[in-house]
Amino acid sequence: MWQKKNLKKLTPLEVTCSSSDCDNNLHCFTQNIKKLTPDDDGKCKYCGAELIDPNRIRRRDLSDIQYTFDSLKHELWRHHYWHIDIDIRAVNHAHRKGKKGMREAAEHRLEKYIGTANPLYDGRQTPKTGNIIYYAQHATACCCRKCIEFWHGIPMGQALTKDQLKYFTDLVMLYIDERMPTLPEDGEYVPNLQ
Ligand SMILES: [Zn+2]
Ligand SMILES: [Zn+2]
């Protein structure tokens, strides 16, 4: 039957949030924090590699952000989002908004989808494409409250404070700076895709 798109076409790397590729030094650290023994906290759940110091990351200290970002990149799922191409719709959307507009959009999105005590569909509320904020959220582990609990040390079941939301907004913007370094401050005209 006629199809508009080849739906069977697979992406080169089918990554999920619990994937690992330990042989290539890309692991999976994200785990249910309540079931973790202090001894296993920060170890890859598949191979046991100890590459991150979770307590250092959970201080949420922007002056130590390079350590946090380097640690996130040791996890396959995050690494994927630090490196895949940003899709064209997301690139155009970011240019239409500019950095200022993206900061506002990130604030709104984070508050609405991860900021409440019990977000709806937690773990599935962050799409994969269409907006660079989604890429940033997966890359910096503020995609859902499970990832936030493990990586950033904020327990599930409580609303995020203004300071915590600001921290995640800063992470999203630092990601955008790294991935789109030439994005202008103000939005600009970008024609619609044909
Ligand atoms: Zn591993
Ligand atoms: Zn998540």
Taking the C-alpha atoms of residue 151 and residue 143, their distance in angstroms, rounded to an integer, is 11
- Number of structural domains (the chain) is 1
Q: Is 81 within the bounds of a domain? A: yes
What average pLDDT does the chain have? 93
With respect to residue 2, please indicate whether it lies within any of the assigned structural domains. Answer: no
Q: Quick one: which ligand is closest to 43's CA?
A: 1
What length is written for the chain? Answer: 194
| Residue 112: pLDDT over 70 | yes
Whole-number Å distance between alpha carbons of 194 and 181 = 26
Collect all residues with Cβ–Cβ distance below 8 Å to 24 and sequence separation of at least 6.
Answer: none
In a domain, 146, yes or no: yes
In a domain, 60, yes or no: yes
- Residue given tokens 């991860």 in the structure block: 114
For residue 45, the enclosing domain spans 41-179
Q: Tokens representing 120? A: 């709806």
The band of 2, judged by pLDDT with boundaries at 50, 70 and 90, is very low
How much distance in Å is there from the Cα of 112 to the middle of ligand 2? 15
Q: Residue 85 domain-assigned?
A: yes
3-state DSSP call for residue 132? helix
CA of 1 relative to ligand 2 center, distance in Å = 37
In a domain, residue 127? The reply is: yes
- Ligand 1 center to residue 134 CA distance, Å? 25
Query: pLDDT band at residue 193, thresholds of 50, 70 and 90?
Result: confident
Let me know if residue 67 belongs to a domain.
yes
In a domain, 27, yes or no: no
